[in-house]
Chain A
Amino acid sequence: MSDLETFRSETAAWLEANCPPEMRQPMVDESDACWGGRNATFKPGQKEWLDIMAAKGWTVPDWPKEYGGGGLSRAEAKILGQEMARLKCRSPLSSFGIWMLGPALLHFGTEEQKKHFLPPIARGEIRWCQGYSEPGSGSDLASLQTSAVDQGDHFLVNGQKIWTSYADKADWIFCLTRTDKNEKHKGITFMLFDMASEGVSTKPIVLISGQSAFCETFFDDVKVPKEYGEGVSSVVYEVNKGWDVAKYLLGHERSMISGGGSEGSTSLGAKFADQYGRDEMGRLDDPMLRAQMAEMDIDVLAFRAMAERFGDTFKAGLCHPAQPNMMKYAGTEINKRRHELIMSAGGSEVLEWESEASNGGLTARGWLRTKANSIEGGTSEVMLNVVSKQILHLPGA
């Protein structure tokens, strides 16, 4: 057996032996994800699964071991992902720290920052939120106004963020602040601070799905220390160079959000055929729905191949740096279409919003949630602008 085949069989055996049965059930909704953090609440099996995976470094399989990762190669990480999918093991930890801040720290952070911040992310001990958008600064993010004034040993932060996902549940925030009012992109600083700091307050916003995943976040004379212990700066990279970090992080965020495009099973057609009937050839007997289902299956399978290729080329350094923007655009548009199809296939049944039978309107709420996919992390239109400019080099874009 090759090393990789051995790795595959050992991994499968380990997962079989260690993954709690509850963690091998399909996730029903967002509340089934484990987010960790100081005030984490765990459903049965979650804590056990998180701890045993974290001990192996497999909450972040491809991060270096010294920062709490598994130190796996791309090929090994891919195999771990495939085996987890095959055995239906849930992801042990959902985390903005893993998807967004971690990669930015690995790239821009000092050794001290990496040692200080990364292991608690890997272990699911600290939950992070993202303070980018402001009421006046959405797509034009670099126009942000939240100010951070240098006061010697600390910065004094004042202003307002909006759409801060899970700000009310997060322990820490990675936040973009303005440190130079005379510059646009070159006056932004990327800083890290505790959401429990005095002067930080949050106010949840109710979404069209009825859920309230995000907040308005207010900073009122918040004192952000320049250092958290010896050599651990609160500023990532340098003062006024935060835009570089912000952009790099957005690349990872966009890749992550694009993942929705390759999710979802391609067995919906068979399921609906069983539910609604088949013609004498055994086909789903609504030919238009059948055609749309098949088109969707093709797009999902095609996008899965794209996601694999993107991951492989990204790791190998062969991928265009702006490619995450294309991935986000394509993946989120597919995911939205998929949910439209699920709604139209479900008919009136999936309109139920509160009933127990509908699991509290799970399908309808899920459908509405996907509408945010092409807005959060940069809108589809902005993604297309970036592709036009950075990949196709079109004029004046």
Chain B
Amino acid sequence: MPLFLNEDQQMLHDSAAEFMKGEAPVAHLREFRDKQCKDGFSHALWKQFSEMGFTGILIGEEEGGLGLGHVEAGVVLEEVGRNLTPSPFLTTAVAGVEALNAGGKPLRERYFPGILSGDTVLALAVDEGPKHRPDQISMAATREGNGFKLDGKKQFVVQGGSADMLIVAARTSGSVGDDKGLTLFAVDANAQGLSKDSARLVDSAMAAHMQFDGVLVDADAVIGEVDEGDAVLRRLLNAGRSGAAAETLGVGAGAMDITVDYIKGRSQFGTLIGSFQALQHRISHLYSEMEIARATVLKAQQMLDEGSSKAEMMVSVAKAKAGKATALSVKEGVQMHGGVGMTDEYDIGLYMKRDRALQEFMGDVNYHTNLVAEMHGY
């Protein structure tokens, strides 16, 4: 398979680009930020995502979706990133759907129709502290009646306050750090004993701190098998990380484009600042980093879609590489804008904020760099 978008993927790209630019450009983010929206995103826009077919990208055709893959999900996410579009797309339609795809039919039948119609929002309750440490999950799920009782806390659950269902990773046996003994649950957001406290993040997204005090779930809330949640979690994380890498790429590419435009228009010392070699070399280096990140992200997505045994490695490479390139893009972007780069009026600062949040989502550069070393046996 050549490492560029095929014709259908290119068409999807064109329509996603046009849609995001038309319906949810940076001005849309500003609007929701300024009215202090409690969800941090627009439910009406989520409906439009559904009308465009985006919410069904990873849902099988026989279940009413498009039956496409991670490449296609990434195509949409890159445009989400480029426009800083706030939406539950990554958590719900990408990582959430993939977790459900790893489970049984009843749960899919319960949740897919609402996702397809743009009514249902999912959130991923995996992390328990300020850094992504899925191997350190300690929330307890103990057997109770024909189901389980959940106790513990989850933190920084993106859109956790607006979700209808939470995918919760908890320990049903073993101890912290064991591969076996994790189980994933589909938990109703209104469950008794669940309290949520939402906080606005630097990028205006909402994240919830959640306390589970004896939250009861039925046995049919288990996604996949009891104690075998590792496989489901992996699938969720692979989708979420490669998706986040694609969104990050869009943020970096968007920031680079506006910066290139800016230095072509701003004059100092009687000439356009874009003619100074000190800036040219740095932004050309950035271009090179962004191109490499783009190839890496697409490679990881293709490998996931092919079911390659090395896909997980490439997903970590992609999350790290896109993270580094985009961090460079937003930093150079603000710097090359000079004083106006520091103002709320200019968009470049918003790109910097979104990048910071995406860096932390499902593992930052250091986290994935460490994983790459482990996967290489050192």
Contact = CB atoms under 8 A, between A and B. Distances in A.
A283 B296 CA distance: 26
Nearest to A326: B288
B280 A388 contact: yes
Contacts of A93: none
A310 B3 CA distance: 8
Contacts of B136: none
Interface in A383-397: 384-385, 387-388, 391-397
Contacts of B298: 305, 309
B369 A295 contact: yes
Nearest to B310: A301
B235 interface: no
Interface string B275-305: 1010011011101110111111011000000
B369 A298 contact: yes
Nearest to B320: A298
A387 B376 contact: no
Given A298-B369, A326-B291, A396-B272, A318 B284 contact: no
A269 B292 contact: no
B372 interface: yes
Nearest to A391: B287
A396 B287 contact: no
A213 interface: no
Among B288, B292, B313, B378, chain A packs the most CB atoms within 10 A around the CB of B378
Given A290-B373, A395-B274, A384 B285 contact: yes
27 contacts: A267-B376, A267-B377, A270-B377, A273-B377, A273-B378, A293-B373, A294-B373, A298-B321, A301-B296, A302-B296, A303-B292, A308-B295, A309-B299, A312-B4, A313-B2, A316-B4, A318-B4, A326-B288, A330-B288, A384-B285, A385-B281, A388-B280, A388-B284, A391-B287, A394-B274, A394-B283, A396-B274
B264 interface: yes
Contacts of B274: 394-396
Counting chain A residues whose Cβ lies within 8 A of the other chain, the interface size class is: 35 or more
Given A283-B373, A297-B372, A384-B280, A394 B292 contact: no
A43 interface: no
A231 B83 CA distance: 58
A302 B287 contact: no
Interface string A277-308: 01000011000001101110111011101101
Nearest to A265: B376
Contact of B3 (A266, A308, A394): A308
A305 B299 contact: yes
A326 B288 CA distance: 6
A163 interface: no
A75 to B, nearest CB: 8
Contact of A302 (B283, B284, B321): B321
A22 interface: no
A392 B283 contact: yes
Contact of A290 (B272, B280, B292, B378): B378
B263 interface: yes
A396 B260 contact: no
B317 interface: yes
Nearest to A383: B284
A290 B373 CA distance: 7
B283 A388 contact: yes
A272 interface: yes
Interface in A215-272: 266-267, 269-270, 272
B271 interface: yes
Among B283, B285, B370, chain A packs the most CB atoms within 10 A around the CB of B285
B314 interface: yes
A306 B271 CA distance: 35
Contacts of A284: 373, 378
B295 A381 contact: no
Contacts of B288: 326, 329-330, 387
A395 B264 contact: yes
